[in-house]
Structure formats: C-alpha cells, structure tokens
C-alpha cells in the first residue's frame, strides 16, 4: 500500500501538483517509515512548496536511515541554500559529492555556495572606523560612523566580471515538445565541453582557449527528461535540446521566484526570457526564431519513427493533447500496473486499483530485497 501511494505521489510530482504529492508522500511514510527515498522525495516536494525547514527535517531523516544517500544531502543543501545559509549548504553538497563523485551538479552547487559566501563576506565587512584615542565626543563620533556606514551601504559596488572572460551570448526558444538552449560560441571541441542535464537544472561548462571556464547554470521552470534530451555541437554554437516532461508552453526558462532573464556568474550578455531572441545587432542577418521553432515542430511531427519509438511518440502525443482526466488516468494506470497497463479512461480506473497485466507468456513477480 505504501509503495502504491509513493508511486501516485511521484506521478503527482511529475504533473507539478506538489501539494497533492506532499500529501501522498506523507501517507506513504505513515504506511512505511523505513524508506529513505520516501523522505527524500517529500523533501523535494517541500522545496517546491518553499517549505524549506520541513525539507531539511525530511532530508535529515533520510540521512539517518541511509547515510549514503547522496540525494538526501542534495535536498538538504538546496533547502539551506534557499534560506541563504550558504556555509551549511556547502557542507551538505560536499558530503553528497563525496558519496556520488559522478554527480557534477553537486560540484556546481558547491561553487555557487562559494560565490555567495564571498559576496556575503564582502557585504558584511564591519566599518574599521572607531573612536579616536585621546578624547573627543564619543556620541558625535558614533553618529559620524553611522552616517559613514549608511553611505557605504548605499554605494556598494558589485565586483565586475573578470576581464579575461569573454562575453558569450546565449538564447532559448521552444517547440511543443522541447526547449532549446543555444550558446553562441564557435568551434568548441568535444573534449572542452561538459553538459550536465538534470530534471530541473542545466549546467553548461566550456573550457576556453584562455584556460578559464565559461559556465551557464540554469534552474529550469519545469521538469525535463534528461535521457531524451540531445546535445548538438555545431561550428557556430552549442545547442542543447531539452525534452519537456509535459507538452506545455513555458512562460520563462527559469523557475518561479527567480528573475526571468538567464543568469550566469562572471559572464554577461544574457537575454530576457520574454524577449524574442535575435543575433547580435552587428550582424546583417537576423533569424526569425518563431518561424524556426515552427519548422522544427513540423519536422518532429512529420518524422517517421518505427517500432517502440513510434509507440512512445504516440503515447507522448496522447498525453500532451489529453485533458487533465486523460493525463491522470494514464499516470495512475501506468504506476499501479507496474507499467503493464496504460489507460486514458478515468471513469473506468479512477475509483479502483489497476491490476498488473503482464504480456502473454510472461509472469509478474514482486522484487524482494
């Protein structure tokens, strides 16, 4: 029963129904409180709902149950980072990275914490001015210092990007099924490029000829499917095609609560998410990205697939075009049947559990750990 509730909670989370997912995760935990992944996923739901303290509590419980769960440290660090506790967040990310060295997103988050801590330390530097030795009006000096501190507070200067890091332009656009992020850097070698795609984040790192690294870190507005995303290394740019979990129109590239423009540390030239992307004004040629997106969408629609690929494309299209009830029916039937049944009729399966129906000649067995 707890496993079924956990599967339903995952389906609601994928559908971005985070409050419902939280409720189902709680029911699953009430049924079985020994599963560390239940707490990890509930922590993630709490983060999405901005309940960061609850997210930390869940992550701590997951760590208590399984100290080797790298995702638990990731969730705890993310919640602490959101609370601007960058030092503690870094400590958690470091612990996670030591367990799972292959997760490059943790290394990226560690660098983010270090950058935030450096800015924080500069902002928190106390005034070095104090009362003069040998007398004077202490009250007057204190007042003078307060004025000086206020003046410094209003004239803080953000450290400029290092001059040796070039300005690299990037844009994004979307089709019904994909979000495409393009970094306008020419002649990048395969060995100098690192792209890490997670369900809710994208990190692109390019080793430049100067020896420095260009890095673009994005917290995505909606979830994507890393395994079905593509990377194209062209002579004029790098193109990352992110497969959408749902065929919805993204209003912005980055997650809610963040500025709509694309952010990056130490590199300028970002474009707003709502602005229509174009080539630099020095170019005599401009690209109609809307028309390009339509052409790509048409190519994807007309592409002739065979076998399992064609079947998967059909299911994806039914889900993307379906009503909320159709989507709920597909999710419920898939998870409850262990992937053996896919129904679009909510009236038929909404009030009852979907039974496992293995293909002819095969037998369903539960895995016992």
Percent of the chain with pLDDT over 70: 70
What local confidence, expressed as pLDDT, does residue 56 receive? 95
Helices (H), the chain: 2-14, 18-31, 36-48, 52-65, 70-82, 86-99, 104-123, 138-154, 289-302, 307-321, 324-336, 346-349
Q: Is residue 295, in this structure, part of any structural domain at all? A: no
Residue 6 CA to residue 178 CA, distance in Å, equals: 28
Q: Is residue 138, in this structure, part of any structural domain at all? A: no
Mean pLDDT taken over the chain: 76
What local confidence, expressed as pLDDT, does residue 257 receive? 52
Residue 346 CA to residue 324 CA, distance in Å, equals: 10
Q: Is residue 142, in this structure, part of any structural domain at all? A: no
| Mean pLDDT for the stretch of residues 56-80 | 94
Q: What is the pLDDT of residues 178-208, one digit of tens each?
A: 889 988 888 888 888 889 999 988 999 888 8
Q: Is residue 136, in this structure, part of any structural domain at all? A: no
| Mean pLDDT for the stretch of residues 225-251 | 87
Q: Is residue 7, in this structure, part of any structural domain at all? A: yes
> 15 versus 286: which is more confidently predicted?
15
Residues 179 and 234 in one domain: yes
Residues 344 and 272 in one domain: no
Q: Is residue 144, in this structure, part of any structural domain at all? A: no
Contacting residues for 248 by C-beta, under 8 A, at least 6 apart: 222
Residues 276 and 344 in one domain: no
pLDDT band at residue 355 under the 50/70/90 scheme: confident
The total number of structural domains that make up the chain: 3
Q: What is the domain range of residue 257?
A: 170-283
Q: What is the pLDDT of residues 159-179, one digit of tens each?
A: 444 444 567 888 888 887 888
Q: Is residue 369, in this structure, part of any structural domain at all? A: no
What local confidence, expressed as pLDDT, does residue 117 receive? 87
| Mean pLDDT for the stretch of residues 276-301 | 56
CA angle, residues 361, 366, 368, in degrees to nearest 5: 135
What local confidence, expressed as pLDDT, does residue 105 receive? 84
CA angle, residues 254, 257, 260, in degrees to nearest 5: 45
Residues 313 and 278 in one domain: no
What local confidence, expressed as pLDDT, does residue 170 receive? 83
Q: Look up residue 304 and give its DSSP letter.
A: -
- Residue 211 backbone zone (phi > 0: left; psi -120 to 50: alpha; other: beta): left
Residue 135 CA to residue 127 CA, distance in Å, equals: 20
Residues 104, 84 contacting (CB under 8 angstroms): no
Sign of CA dihedral 334, 336, 340, 342: negative
pLDDT band at residue 21 under the 50/70/90 scheme: very high
- Nearest Cα neighbor of 170 from 121, 111, 240 is 240
Q: What is the pLDDT of residues 261-282, one digit of tens each?
A: 433 333 334 444 444 444 444 4
Does residue 321 sit in helix, strand or coil?
Answer: helix
Q: Which domain CATH number covers 14?
A: 1.25.40.10
Q: Is residue 139, in this structure, part of any structural domain at all? A: no
Residues 74 and 7 in one domain: yes
pTM for the model stands at 0.39
Residue 331 has pLDDT above 50, yes or no: yes
Q: Which domain CATH number covers 206?
A: 2.60.40.790
Residues 191 and 247 in one domain: yes
């Amino acid at each position: 029963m707890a496993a079924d509730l956990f599967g339903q909670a995952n389906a609601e989370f994928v559908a971005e129904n985070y409050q419902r997912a939280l409720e189902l995760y709680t029911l699953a935990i009430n049924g079985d409180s020994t599963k560390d992944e239940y707490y990890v996923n509930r922590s993630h739901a709490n983060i999405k709902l901005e309940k960061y303290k609850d997210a930390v509590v869940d992550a701590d419980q997951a760590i208590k149950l399984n100290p080797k769960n790298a995702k638990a440290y990731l969730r705890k660090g993310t919640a602490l980072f959101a609370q601007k506790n960058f030092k503690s967040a870094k400590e958690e990310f470091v612990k996670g990275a030591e367990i799972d060295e292959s997760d490059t997103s943790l290394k990226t988050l560690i660098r983010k914490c270090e950058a935030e801590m450096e800015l924080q330390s500069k902002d928190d530097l106390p005034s070095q001015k104090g009362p003069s030795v040998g007398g004077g009006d202490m009250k007057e000096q204190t007042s003078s210092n307060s004025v000086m501190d206020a003046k410094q507070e209003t004239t803080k200067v953000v450290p400029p990007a290092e001059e040796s890091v070039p300005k690299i332009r990037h844009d994004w656009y979307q089709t019904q099924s994909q979000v495409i992020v393009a970094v306008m850097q020419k002649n990048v070698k395969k060995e100098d490029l690192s792209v890490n795609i997670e369900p809710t984040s994208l990190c692109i790192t390019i080793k430049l000829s100067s020896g420095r690294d260009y890095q673009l870190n994005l917290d995505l507005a909606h979830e994507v499917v890393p395994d079905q995303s593509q990377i194209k290394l062209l002579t004029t740019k790098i193109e990352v095609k992110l497969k959408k979990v749902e065929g919805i129109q993204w209003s912005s590239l980055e997650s809610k609560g963040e500025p709509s423009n694309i952010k990056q540390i130490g590199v300028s030239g970002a474009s707003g998410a709502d602005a229509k992307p174009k080539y630099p004004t020095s170019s005599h040629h401009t690209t109609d990205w809307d028309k390009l997106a339509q052409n790509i969408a048409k190519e994807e629609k007309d592409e002739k697939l065979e076998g399992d690929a064609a079947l998967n494309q059909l299911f994806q299209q039914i889900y993307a075009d379906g009503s909320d009830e159709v989507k709920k029916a597909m999710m419920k039937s898939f998870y409850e049947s262990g992937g053996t049944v896919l129904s679009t009729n909510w009236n038929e399966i909404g009030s009852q559990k979907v039974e496992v129906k293995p293909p002819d000649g095969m037998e369903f067995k539960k895995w016992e750990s």
